[in-house]
């Protein structure tokens, strides 16, 4: 079936480095993509989103890149901080569906 997945289950980076978390999706009808951050014991927290008519969107220290040709989504975090340590989820939605389909998550560990 359709799925959203991540290449790396755990990513370990040094504080101050840039982090890149990747996500592959298979639903060609997906038109909306979103990244969430989930800290231990908390609910997912919105980071950034992007629609299929864009290929890049920037926020504060974060950038989302969308490559529709290869159905790939990435989240870039600049100058990673210890507070960025969490599990990151990508999710997608197509126009015919109201709910998000989540990927399996990547754990980001920031080493001081």
User: Which stretches of the chain bind other proteins, using CB under 8 A?
Assistant: 32, 34, 36, 38, 41-46, 49, 87, 89, 91, 93, 97-102, 104-105
Which stretches does DSSP call E strand in 3-85? 4-5, 10-14, 19-25, 30-38, 45-51, 56-58, 62-67, 72-77
Q: Pick the closer one to other proteins by CB: 18 or 51.
A: 51
CB of 66 to other proteins, least distance (A): 15
Contact 101, 4 (CB under 8 A): yes
Q: Pick the closer one to other proteins by CB: 23 or 93.
A: 93
Contact 90, 4 (CB under 8 A): yes
Q: Pick the closer one to other proteins by CB: 42 or 69.
A: 42
Q: Pick the closer one to other proteins by CB: 14 or 58.
A: 58
Contact 66, 4 (CB under 8 A): no
CB of 93 to other proteins, least distance (A): 7
CA distance 108 to 66: 20
Place of tokens 């992007």: 50
CB of 16 to other proteins, least distance (A): 27
CB of 101 to other proteins, least distance (A): 8
């Amino acid at each position: 079936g359709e799925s959203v997945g991540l290449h790396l289950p755990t990513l370990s980076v040094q504080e101050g480095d840039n982090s890149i978390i990747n996500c592959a999706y298979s639903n060609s009808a997906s038109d909306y993509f979103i990244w969430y951050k989930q800290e231990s014991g908390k609910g997912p927290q919105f980071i950034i989103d992007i629609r299929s008519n864009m290929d890049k969107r920037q926020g504060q220290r974060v950038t989302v890149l969308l490559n529709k040709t290869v159905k790939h989504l990435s989240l870039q975090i600049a100058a990673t901080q210890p507070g960025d340590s969490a599990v990151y989820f990508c999710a997608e939605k197509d126009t015919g569906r109201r709910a998000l389909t989540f990927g399996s998550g990547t754990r980001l560990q920031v080493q001081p």
